[in-house]
Amino acid sequence: MSSKICGGKLMAYNLKVDFDDSLEGVIKTSKGNVDISFSGKTLGPYDYFLGGYCGCLHSTFMGIAKKKKVSYGTVNYEVYGEKRDETPTTLKYLKTTITFTGVNEEDQSKITKSMELAERYCSISVTISKVAEMDFEIIFN
């Protein structure tokens, strides 16, 4: 399993997933293995998908925030999603609550603008927006 690197950026993804007959599986990549389950014993497909969305959003945000020279203490992402009843059961609604600590009052608007841009440029966010209504809320503590 390998990924093609071009100009320092990952251009393709390659992984394997092995399942047994009880809906328990293992995702295998060149970086490691993680369990996946449809029975609730471990994380399931949407756990990984929404975790990936948060990772993509945060990475995109970090690039923008760095250019704007804003800092913060910590950031926490909480995601709530609803799936459609009809087949295919894609997401129909996704709300992301983003909580920052350690942000100066004068930087809050820059953080908010950076996150708005990140939401627009994160590739997974763009993918989700094709099938679901998306909202996000930013909280400063």
Co-location of 54 and 28 in the same domain: no
Distance CA 15, CA 1 (A): 6
Co-location of 104 and 135 in the same domain: yes
Co-location of 65 and 128 in the same domain: yes
Co-location of 27 and 84 in the same domain: no
Domain tally for the chain?
Answer: 2
Domain containing residue 19: 5-37
Q: Which amino acid is at 34?
A: V
CB-based burial of residue 138 (10 Å sphere; 0-12 exposed, 13-18 middle, 19+ buried)?
Answer: middle
Co-location of 96 and 79 in the same domain: yes
User: pLDDT for 52-110, tens place per residue?
Assistant: 999 999 999 999 999 999 999 999 999 999 999 999 999 999 999 999 999 999 999 99
Co-location of 17 and 80 in the same domain: no
* Token pair 């704007």 in the structure block, residue: 68
Co-location of 76 and 23 in the same domain: no
Co-location of 23 and 50 in the same domain: no
Q: Give the mean model confidence (pLDDT) for residues 112-120.
A: 97
| pLDDT in the model for residue 14 | 86
CATH number at residue 61: 3.30.300.20
Element housing 79 (H / E): strand 74-83
Residue 88's φ and ψ, nearest 5 degrees, are -75, 145
